[in-house]
Amino acid sequence: MKVLVSNIMMLNERDHFDALLRTRGVEPVWPVVNQFMDEAQCLSHAGTVDGWLAGDDRITRAVIEAFLPRLKVISKWGTGVDSIDLVAARDLGVPVCNSPGAFRDAVGEYAIGLLLAASRRIALNDRRVRAGLWPKGRYLGLTGRTMGVIGYGAIGQGVGQRARGLGMTVIAHDPYQTATPDGTELVDFPALLARADVICLCCNLTAQNYHLLDAAAFASMRDDVMVVNVARGGLIDEAALLAALRAGKVSAAALDVFETEPVPTDHPLLAEEAVVVSSHNANSTVQAIEAVHANTLENLFRHLAP
């Protein structure tokens, strides 16, 4: 059997996983991947593999159809499956597996870390001190403020737990929930925009919420709002965010994700002092990564077993 390995996390440890897969009687196929494979690159492997250890590859209906009848399973590394046509996979009988809830703590910690770095200009002050300066800025604190979490699954709940630890009030918007396991108040989207001092995106990207935070949304927010995105870049209209930052509506932004990744070095958001950026790496704890490695492989072999 052959398995296509296109997720970045296993590609970064190719030697280890190559040996591991071969001990299980599987021949791995290792494409050259820059973040993820587009539809054309996916199609170049059509009909050649029995399983797929996928990343954020653009797995469309056309891709799944082309991989049949040989493909038995798509085992997605991580939690997000928005790059996979799940309706097509179901229609065509191809199981799609992921690791739900695996990054609750890792991403929750990172979201708060990014927020603190942005709100208190920690990274900026670090750079200035290294340059020989000794800044004494005045920045907005978080205690007593309201955190609005959009998407209140495992990761959103992890962010909410930590925000409460900072003395914040937490509200959430999640159209797929009618109640929260931790008692957090659920509100509609306009109410969240109107009440939140900090807005943290923790939801999946769908056709319905693309550019959820657009110019109109920013206009509806409180003055000096802070924005954190540890979900998907397409949730924010980046031009609208830039305008809101320059107008002073947004006081700080913390972005682990962008619409184009890696983010271009000339992206105008990178020039803003109130913006802290990261490399789509909020899940980066040893514990979380090892757990997802193990679960992704378990999902694969469970479906490949005769």
Q: List the domain boundaries for the chain.
A: 2-100+286-304, 104-277
Reported residue count of the chain is 306
In one-letter notation, the amino acid at residue 283 is N
Residues of the chain by 3-state class (helix, strand, coil), percent to 5: 40, 15, 45
DSSP-assigned beta bridge partners for residue 147: 170, 198
Estimate the crossing angle of helix 154-165 against helix 104-119, to 10 degrees: 50
Please tell me whether the overall predicted TM-score, pTM, comes out greater than 0.85 for this model. yes
Low-confidence ranges of the chain (pLDDT < 50): none
The per-residue pLDDT for 306 is 72
- Residue 153 CA to residue 256 CA, distance in Å, equals 18
* 169 CA to centre of own chain: 23
**CA–CA gap between residue 248 and residue 63 (Å, rounded):** 44
Tokens coding 23? 């001990």
Q: Residue holding tokens 């962010």?
A: 159
- CA–centroid distance for 252 within its chain: 19
C-alpha dist (Å) from residue 189 to 23, 71, 208, 280: 50, 40, 13, 25
Read off the DSSP letter of residue 254. Answer: E
Please give the pLDDT value at position 179.
Answer: 96
> Among residues 52, 88, 112, which one has the least CA distance to residue 297?
52
pLDDT at 305: 81
- What is the CATH superfamily name and number for domain 2-100+286-304? NAD(P)-binding Rossmann-like Domain (3.40.50.720)
CA distance 214 to 277: 19
Counting beta carbons within 10 angstroms of the beta carbon of residue 214, is it exposed (0 to 12), middle (13 to 18) or buried (19 or more)? Answer: middle
Amino acid 198: pLDDT: 98
235: left (phi over 0), alpha (psi -120 to 50) or beta: alpha
As a CATH number, domain 104-277 is: 3.40.50.720
Supply the residues annotated as catalytic: 232, 261, 280
104-277 has the same fold as 2-100+286-304: yes
